[in-house]
Structure 1
Amino acid sequence: MENLFRLVDNDQDFFSRRCIWVNGPVIVGAGPSGLATAACLREQGVPFMVLERADCIASLWQRRTYDRLKLHLPKQFCQLPNLPFPQDFPEYPSKKQFIDYLESYARKFNINPKFNECVQSCRYDETSGLWRVKTVATCGSNRTEFEYICRWLVVATGENAECVMPEIEGLGEFKGEIIHAADYKSGENFKGKNVLVVGCGNSGMELSLDLCNYNASPSIVCRSSVHVLPREIFGKSTFELACLMMQWLPLWLVDKLLLIFAWLVLGNIEKYGLKRPSQGPLQLKNTKGKTPVLDIGTLEKIRSGDIKVVPGIKRLSNDSAELVNGENLDVDAVVLATGYRSNVPSWLQEGEFFSKNGFPKSPFPNGWKGNSGLYAVGFTRRGLSGASSDAMKIAQDIGQVWKQETKQKKQRTTACHRRCISQF
């Protein structure tokens, strides 16, 4: 290591180069996945640095979610390692309660991310065997560049780093308001308006319900097939029931049973324009990452006609939408509930572990570890429980190496973060 870096005492020289050695892993992202990994590393006694482009932890939850949001799964399936939810929290915690939980989690494990620091590029240096992470830190109008050097890199930016913006003919001609679901807070500003919601996943369904509750007239675009399941079956969480059945039954049979239960509880949803896929809900989730919709009241509004299900959009005009079936709708506003995607390819210069879509090439449960000290957490398409599982594996893997080397070098003392100038 000494031949790779030269420690400096000249602060002026250091601040002109701003190169920092991190004596442990760099974690990119301070969402639930990054926090879980940091906490598990803390338990292993491994130092780390967390880089976060926003000004807070869990920025997706704090900045890009609607007000009425609650966890769609029971809290026991959403807690992070080594800290359960408070007992007085409801089974489905609210957005505020979940954020409070994450902030208490960060405090408990002394996780202090470097906020407002966006990773611009990251690559593995073959000569040194180290990762080089270049960032830009912003403070008001000031921008400062840094380069972090580390042995281990944990990518925790997750599946939802960037909004997906669909290509719709005439989108630029539309005179009404167009927002992505990331910017939607409540239906209060849409009272009395005809709102076209593009996307029929969990967000699109819940936003349509919220709009309806604020006396708007929502129409939800359902271009493709979708699985809609009740959130609970016979008083038990559908997710929990599926997990129990999968311990004893093959996946295809669990899918069959879930669809039977869904039909008994919800009835035939296809007559409302919600066609079911040919693959079962769990098989579809495993193969394509498409999450089934858990109904929290939207179907009742669809049955009553308060929410209209429409096919795909052919084009938009000034104040209307022409649908693929020839129908024309008067539209005052458009909400794009078209989801999110990974942004890893935009900054990580690596092609072996991550694919072009920003997800690990190896499917679950093998997508958490790459080569040369590269790790991924929160890309399993299995929610917070999948992220927690990956976080524990990553921390244990790094911790084993760390403890072995620490044992061999007891006499050596090293600062957590050393100022240095790269000699590559």
Structure 2
Amino acid sequence: MSSCRERRRYLGYHRQKSAQSKGELRLRVLEAQCVNRIRPSINRGVWVYNDDDTRGEASAMYNGLVTNSSKEMMCFSDFAFPPEYPPYLSTHHVIKYYRDYAKYYDIEKYIKFNTEVVDVSPTDDNQTTGQWNVTTRQRDQEQLIEQTDIFDAVMVCTGCHSKCKIPEHPGMDEFKGQIIHSNTFRRGEDFAGQNVLVVGASHSAGDAATQCSHHAKSTYISLRNGCYVLARRGPKGMPMDSVANRRFSSNLPGFIRSKMLSSLVESRMDVDNLGLRSDKKDVFSSSIMVSDSLPDRILNGTLKVKADIERFTENGVKFVDGSCIEDIDTVIFATGYDTTFPFITREIFDETKMELFKHILSPKYTTLAFVGAVGAPGAQGPVFELQARWTVSVFSGSVKLPDLETRQIEAKERVDNMLKQYGYLKIKFAPVPYQEELASDIGVKPTLDMFLIDPKLAAKVFFGPAYPPSYRLKGPHTWAGARQAIMNGWENTTNPTKTRHITKQNGLNPIFPAIVLFALILAIIF
């Protein structure tokens, strides 16, 4: 059993401002709750919103959550979102889409629900058969039933957001306010009348801070190194991710892409006056936050930006720039997660190193793959889908692997590059180049000969958004609806918002943003 401190960090903790005995009783209650709640959530999926404070269980959905990626960029490559869905989606849109997908392809019969995987280990003859023992646990009424089955291959698809991470700061034990992780955040109105500090520089930090700023007495957000704040609306009102993630621009040198994105951010706000400027000039090495309203909340005084935390005091926080807040009721740490796979021992795979061939495959065990253990600015679902398709191609033998030494060297080089870019272990990269790499391996990458066969489609594919259906145009497992999905991408994005008829003389050419970006590149170079 983990220590009291570890359990309190996992859940967040609250120490009563009254007598110490009551505070100790509260801590003992939290410890007892932790024993039950640290188990995987039952009957609750990641996208299922629940009002309860789930204390670190699977779902971290909060009221009012809207996707950071637009629907045309985050769809499955062979299943378009309904055209009537808005460009950016609420949780009920997303969960219905996934359920519709499962129903359409009749895959629920292959899913064993309400089942916890407790151990994955190689069989005694794994070196020759590649097989695995998988032990699962199910609750039958009041009884837990365990069973072990043998599988030819295993894909671990639990992702990298599993164990809440709260950094250590001096004085935390003496702080009398409430400390929670953003995983337990549900509504801004829960903090009405309080003084709230949100810690973090990514999407959930921005959402928690802006929601609290509508209800709290005062709201602050602490940024360690600053961040780049992107709106969902890009140039000419196009979804930002559909502008940023395109094949032609992804082939540009990194410093040019970083300069283009930083120039766009600074054209919309004064990052110095708002206290948001990142210490890192390279956008892709810095924290990126998607938030439409955070700059406005700063401008109207309901949200204030603070530096990194130096230490906690009994009732407040002191920051590294010397400033202090003397009366804090709640601190919300939106500081991410530690990647962990508790059902696999570190002798099999060490998640503290994350050395995986192609960021997917165990170099040593070629029938053990990790899908979704990466991050990307923009839609991540299509990245995970291509990882799954690549893995299946490896398992089936259609993609041949290099020797063990080559796989180990390649896996370490990828991690070393991440360490060099971020200064710590963070597996996050631009999605399009990585998707193209995997797509090339399995034979589904779009090629330039499309310009001879279907020039209109080719223009959309190479200069327009990198829509997921572009990986269903050729190679194995093509989709008959791929061309239509790509050609109608802009129409499906804009039509749901056209609820008032307006006559325009000149409509927006979907290729126009590409021309604008090309002009901007020339301006930067010359």
SS in 1 for 2:299: helix
Asked whether the equivalents of residues 227 and 277 of structure 1 are also in contact (C-alpha less than 8 Å), the reply is no
> Offset of 1:57 from its aligned partner?
6.3
Structure 2 gap segments, 5+ residues each: 1-38, 50-58, 399-526
Q: Quick one: distance in 1 between partners of 2:225 and 2:276?
A: 8
Query: 1:326–1:277: structure 2 CA closer, same or farther, 3 Å change rule?
Result: closer
Q: Quick one: distance in 2 between partners of 1:333 and 1:100?
A: 34
Asked whether the equivalents of residues 229 and 292 of structure 1 are also in contact (C-alpha less than 8 Å), the reply is yes
Q: Quick one: distance in 2 between partners of 1:280 and 1:295?
A: 19
2:257 corresponds to: 254
Q: Deviation per CA, 1:165-212, whole angstroms, max 9, x where unpaired?
A: 221333233333322111111111111211011112111111111111
Question: RMSD of aligned C-alpha atoms?
Answer: 2.5
SS in 2 for 1:228: strand
1:75 aligns with 2:62: no
2:192 corresponds to which letter in structure 1? K
How many residues align structurally? 338
**How many percent of aligned residue pairs carry the same amino acid?**
24
Q: Deviation per CA, 1:336-375, whole angstroms, max 9, x where unpaired?
A: 111122212x3223557x543363434xxx2223333111
1:185 aligns with 2:186: yes
2:384 to 347, 368, 387: 387
Query: 1:139–1:372: structure 2 CA closer, same or farther, 3 Å change rule?
Result: same
1:275 corresponds to: 277
> Offset of 1:86 from its aligned partner?
1.3
Query: 1:60–1:351: structure 2 CA closer, same or farther, 3 Å change rule?
Result: farther
Asked whether the equivalents of residues 225 and 274 of structure 1 are also in contact (C-alpha less than 8 Å), the reply is yes
1:107 aligns with 2:103: yes
Asked whether the equivalents of residues 57 and 103 of structure 1 are also in contact (C-alpha less than 8 Å), the reply is no
Q: Quick one: distance in 2 between partners of 1:314 and 1:291?
A: 20
Q: Deviation per CA, 1:216-259, whole angstroms, max 9, x where unpaired?
A: 42111111232223332221222222223524522221111111
SS in 2 for 1:349: coil
1:307 aligns with 2:303: yes
Structure 1 gap segments, 5+ residues each: 1-51, 285-289, 402-424
Q: Quick one: distance in 2 between partners of 1:254 and 1:155?
A: 33
Query: 1:351–1:242: structure 2 CA closer, same or farther, 3 Å change rule?
Result: farther
SS in 1 for 2:220: strand
1:293 corresponds to which letter in structure 2? M
Asked whether the equivalents of residues 77 and 382 of structure 2 are also in contact (C-alpha less than 8 Å), the reply is no
1:134 corresponds to: 135
Q: Taking structure 1 as the reference length, what is the TM-score of the superposition?
A: 0.73
Q: Quick one: distance in 1 between partners of 2:366 and 2:119?
A: 17
Q: Quick one: distance in 2 between partners of 1:140 and 1:170?
A: 45
Asked whether the equivalents of residues 355 and 361 of structure 1 are also in contact (C-alpha less than 8 Å), the reply is no
2:491 corresponds to: none
1:241 corresponds to: 243
> Offset of 1:121 from its aligned partner?
2.3
Q: Quick one: distance in 2 between partners of 1:61 and 1:164?
A: 22
> Offset of 1:66 from its aligned partner?
1.0
Asked whether the equivalents of residues 274 and 295 of structure 2 are also in contact (C-alpha less than 8 Å), the reply is no
Query: 1:119–1:91: structure 2 CA closer, same or farther, 3 Å change rule?
Result: same
2:391 corresponds to which letter in structure 1? I
1:54 to 36, 41, 45: 41
SS in 2 for 1:239: helix
Asked whether the equivalents of residues 270 and 276 of structure 1 are also in contact (C-alpha less than 8 Å), the reply is no
> Offset of 1:140 from its aligned partner?
5.5
Asked whether the equivalents of residues 230 and 265 of structure 2 are also in contact (C-alpha less than 8 Å), the reply is yes
Q: Taking structure 2 as the reference length, what is the TM-score of the superposition?
A: 0.60
Q: Quick one: distance in 2 between partners of 1:140 and 1:308?
A: 50
Q: List, as ranges, runs of 4+ consecutive aligned residues in structure 1 with deviation greater than 6 Å.
A: none
Alignment of 1:21-40 (within 5 A): none
SS in 2 for 1:178: strand
1:414 corresponds to: none
Q: Quick one: distance in 2 between partners of 1:107 and 1:265?
A: 43
Query: 1:71–1:176: structure 2 CA closer, same or farther, 3 Å change rule?
Result: same
Asked whether the equivalents of residues 230 and 265 of structure 1 are also in contact (C-alpha less than 8 Å), the reply is no
Q: Quick one: distance in 1 between partners of 2:332 and 2:250?
A: 40
2:138 corresponds to which letter in structure 1? A
Alignment of 1:291-370 (within 5 A): 292-329=288-325, 330-344=327-341, 346-349=342-345, 354-357=349-352, 359-362=354-357, 366-370=358-362
SS in 2 for 1:272: coil
2:328 corresponds to which letter in structure 1? V
Query: 1:232–1:151: structure 2 CA closer, same or farther, 3 Å change rule?
Result: same
SS in 2 for 1:218: strand
- Which gives a bigger RCO, structure 1 or 2 (Cα 8 Å, sep 6+)? 1
Asked whether the equivalents of residues 137 and 147 of structure 2 are also in contact (C-alpha less than 8 Å), the reply is yes
1:219 corresponds to: 220
Q: Quick one: distance in 1 between partners of 2:319 and 2:214?
A: 25
Asked whether the equivalents of residues 226 and 275 of structure 2 are also in contact (C-alpha less than 8 Å), the reply is no
1:10 corresponds to: none
Q: Quick one: distance in 2 between partners of 1:75 and 1:230?
A: 16
Q: Deviation per CA, 1:403-423, whole angstroms, max 9, x where unpaired?
A: xxxxxxxxxxxxxxxxxxxxx
**1 or 2, which has the higher strand percentage?**
1
